Amino acid sequence: MRARRLLAVSATVVLAAGCGANDAASGTGEAASGYPVTLTNCGAEVSFDKAPERVVLLKSAAVPYLHSLGVMDRVTARAGQYPKEYYDAATQAEIDRIPLLTDKTDTSGHLQISKEVVISQQPDLVLGEVDNLSRDTLSGVDIPLLEEPALCPDATAVPSFDDIYRQMEAYGKVFDRQAEATTAVSALKARMAGIKKPTEQRTAAVLYPTVGGGVTYAYGSTSMAHPQLEAAGFTNVFADSKERVFEVTLEELLGRNPDVLILLYSDGDPKAVEAAVTSLPGAVKLKAVSGGNVMPQLFNFTEPPSPLSIDGLERIVERFQAPA
């Protein structure tokens, strides 16, 4: 399995044409808010004759989009991990109402679910592609699937916070919630405008360590980690990599020696996630480790582009920026 697709279980479904950060999903309707709506997702055309009414979530980070648009009641089943830290009380109440099919994952964090279980829900939209339940599998039984564009195979475009606004608008078209999408985008832009610009330039790396021993992954310039670090005032030491995520050794980390480390994880104990890096032989030589500048962060607070990425940015700034 390629590293590019690894760690995708916690990523959300976002709509964009051509799977590129600069391509937005396009709706084509007979009226301003009419149907059909057609968009291109990971190179496949997906059309809707009406707003979806039975949605199955296989990934979690679509939740803030759907909540903002007021369509969480369309979600009839969910699978995977939905950490409570992501959500306010109102959103959590919506999630708790939705039956959980399974939260079973393999050792690399990939959701394990059979096509029979999903098909039995009779969905008219599945959000999120998993290894054993592909778009082609579902299209064979006329069930559309939408995947997060940043996680499309061979996606190379650099994501940005503008993608979040475009995806909210795309969801608004799919669910016929254009007015709600406009309001939500305005609120998100206001939050971004309110984040104080940093005064000190430091370097950072975003990693995904394997708890209990194993490979450590780093995020390059085609991950949402890159613009998030830049917005927080950091220089990504792996900005020269065009890969979204890739294996990295401690020796390479020591060679780049970032001032700050952000450690992503899907679920579990954040202290164990931190220890997975700080306990490595020689890790104390890293400036981030010796200086105590290591921050575990739940995966969807960074990737893929979603309103949760703005939450994550605010958390990073709060943790590392000195008070004015």
For the chain, give the percent of residues with pLDDT over 70.
87
Banded model confidence at residue 224, pLDDT cuts 50, 70, 90: very high
In the predicted structure, residue 5 carries a pLDDT above the cut 70: no
| Residue 28: per-residue pLDDT | 40
Number of neighbours of residue 129 by Cβ within 10 angstroms = 27
- Annotate 166-201 with b (16+ C-beta within 10 A) or e (fewer): bbbbbbbbbbbbbebbeebbeebeeeeeebeebeee
Confidence of residue 26 (pLDDT cuts 50, 70, 90): very low
The three-state secondary structure class of 262 is strand
pTM of the entire structure? 0.84
Which pLDDT score is estimated for 322? 58
Answer whether residue 16 shows pLDDT above 90: no
User: What pLDDT is recorded for position 200?
Assistant: 79
Helices (H), ranges, the chain: 63-69, 89-97, 115-119, 135-139, 161-174, 178-193, 225-231, 250-256, 270-278, 287-290, 307-320
Q: Which CATH superfamily is domain 3-192 in?
A: Nitrogenase molybdenum iron protein domain (3.40.50.1980)
Confidence of residue 77 (pLDDT cuts 50, 70, 90): very high
More confident residue, 149 or 27: 149
- Asked whether 170 and 182 are in contact (CB, 8 A), the reply is no
Q: Tell me whether strands 55-57 and 75-78 are parallel, antiparallel or unpaired.
A: parallel
pLDDT tens for each residue of 158-196: 899 999 999 999 899 999 999 999 999 999 999 999 998
Residues 69 and 180: beta-carbon distance below 8 Å: yes
Amino acid at 39: L
Query: Tens digits of per-residue pLDDT, 287-312?
Result: 999 999 999 999 999 999 999 999 99
Q: Which fold has domain 202-320?
A: Rossmann fold (3.40.50)
Check whether 1 has a pLDDT greater than 50: no
What distance separates the 2 farthest-apart alpha carbons in the chain? 63
Q: Which residues are bridge partners to 56 per DSSP?
A: 77, 126
Is the model more confident about 16 or about 268? 268
Question: Quick check: 135 pLDDT over 60?
Answer: yes
pLDDT at 143: 95
Query: What average pLDDT does the segment 233-256 reach?
Result: 95
| Residue with tokens 């559309």, as numbered in its chain | 144
**Structure tokens of 209?**
């360590």
Average pLDDT over residues 20-44: 62
CATH 3.40.50.1980 domain position(s) in the chain: 3-192, 202-320
Residue 151 CA to residue 92 CA, distance in Å, equals: 25
Query: What is the torsional sign of CA 123, 128, 130, 135?
Result: positive
Residues in the chain: 324
- Rounded (10°) angle between helices 178-193 and 161-174: 170
Give CA–CA dist 160/165, Å, rounded: 10
Average model confidence (pLDDT) for the chain? 86
pLDDT digits (tens, 9 = 90+) for 190-199: 999 999 877 7
pLDDT of residue 324: 43
Q: Is the pLDDT of residue 211 over 70?
A: yes
| pLDDT band per the 50, 70, 90 thresholds, residue 13 | very low
135-139, 140-144, 171-175, 198-202: least confidently modelled range: 198-202
More confident position, 227 or 139: 227
pLDDT at 189: 98
